[in-house]
Amino acid sequence: MKYRPLGRSGLKVSAIGLGTNAFGKRADRSVSIRIVHQALDRGINFIDTANIYAKTESESIIGEALQGRRSEAVLATKAGLVFGPGPNDRGSSRYHLMRQLDESLKRLKTDYVDLYQIHTFDPDTPLEETLRTLDDMIRSGKVRYIGASNYAAWELMKAIGISERLGLNRFVSVQTSYSLADRTPERELVPLSLDQGIGIIPYFPLAGGILTGKYTADNKRPEGSRADKDPGFGRFLEDDARLALGQQVVRLAQAAGCSPGALSIAWLLRQPAIATVIAGATRTEQLDENLTSEALELPDDVWRELDEISRPFRYGEPFAVYRLPE
Active site residues: 53
Gap between the Cα atoms of 316 and 232, Å rounded: 22
> How many Cα atoms within 13 Å fall on the side-chain side of residue 208?
26
Q: What are the Cα distances from residue 19, in Å, to 132, 153, 211, 311?
A: 28, 23, 17, 26
Q: What are the Cα distances from residue 136, in Å, to 61, 288, 295?
A: 27, 39, 40
Instruction: Name the nearest CA neighbour of 115 among 76, 65, 153, 84.
Output: 76
Distance of CA 9 to the CA centre of its chain: 18
Gap between the Cα atoms of 74 and 173, Å rounded: 14
